[in-house]
Structure 1
Amino acid sequence: MRLVQINDTLWVAPQIDPEDFAALKEQGFTAIINNRPDGEEPGQPTAAEAAKAAAALRLAYTHLPFSGYGFDEALVRAQQAALAAQPGPVVAHCRSGTRSLTIWAVGEVLDGRMAIEDVDAFGRSHGFDLSGVQRWFAGRG
């Protein structure tokens, strides 16, 4: 399981399987945010399966699925609320981690905590291509 720390409260990751949840809890994570739609790939755990496994471990679980850049500001705000509701670190995942980091970065730009011209370098510094953030903002106009 590859986790990339973004700040004190957010880590992003590729697909996390329910079998990994106990290890995450042992590491101090309090919540999981799943940004993958069900059925994106064959054999992928469903959100219902993951939610059940998380509940058994008393981990908060939020399913906020989207594909590509098919999200709106309401989904950005829902992701921010899911992060803010947790007393400890959260791991957000999708197929590669890029979507989860993209939606976070969009929120940072919307709220003025990051300049849009700094997003690409920030993404590269964490091993991700965040060029989609620019495309998302360009599509809002």
Structure 2
Amino acid sequence: MTIRKLNDQVAVSPQLTVKDIEKAAAEGYKTVINNRPDKEGLMQPSSDDLKAVAEKHGMAYYHIPVTPGQFTDEQVEEFGKAVEGCNGPVLAFCKSGTRAACLWALHEAAEQNPDTVLNACNSAGYDLSGLAPRLHARAEAARKGQ
């Protein structure tokens, strides 16, 4: 399990296994967000199996599946609500961690400077520079109250 922190509250990771969720619980994570559609990969555990393990360890679990490169505003808002409603550190994942990082970045762009968000992702090993125009658009819309 490779965990990369985006800030003090949110970290992202490539695909988690049942054992990874158990380790994450032991490390103090309180919420798991799965951004992979079920059956995307051959050896991928099902969302239901991962949810059962997370809940067994007292963790909240959200399944917000995203097709690579196709982030809807609704998915961004759902991700944000999951993060804002948690009672401790969040671990979000997908196949590589990139979709999870993108959802976080898109949500955060409405709250803080998009360049700061991009730098945080870059420091964690995710180059989201291609997402910059959308991040700036979300920041601008948030400033205008839309």
TM-score by length of 2: 0.85
Number of the residue aligned with 2:28: 28
Identity of counterpart residues, as a percentage? 33
**What aligned pairs does 1:57-96 form with structure 2 within 5 A after superposition?**
57-96=57-96
Report if aligned partners of 1:13, 1:96 keep a CA contact under 8 Å in 2. Answer: yes
Report if aligned partners of 1:69, 1:136 keep a CA contact under 8 Å in 2. Answer: no
Report if aligned partners of 2:108, 2:117 keep a CA contact under 8 Å in 1. Answer: no
TM-superposed CA distance for 1:123, in Å, is: 2.7
CA distance 1:132–1:40, shift in 2 (3 Å): farther
Unaligned runs of 5+ in 2: 139-146
Root mean square deviation of aligned Cα: 2.1
Number of the residue aligned with 1:39: 39
Within 1, Cα distance between the matches of 2:105 and 2:99?
10
Number of the residue aligned with 2:132: 134
SS at match of 1:92: strand
Unaligned runs of 5+ in 1: none
Divergent runs of 4+, >6 A = none
CA distance 1:106–1:54, shift in 2 (3 Å): same
Number of the residue aligned with 1:17: 17
TM-superposed CA distance for 1:136, in Å, is: 4.8
Aligned residues: 138
Within 2, Cα distance between the matches of 1:68 and 1:55?
27
TM-superposed CA distance for 1:137, in Å, is: 6.0
Within 2, Cα distance between the matches of 1:69 and 1:19?
28
TM-superposed CA distance for 1:124, in Å, is: 2.2
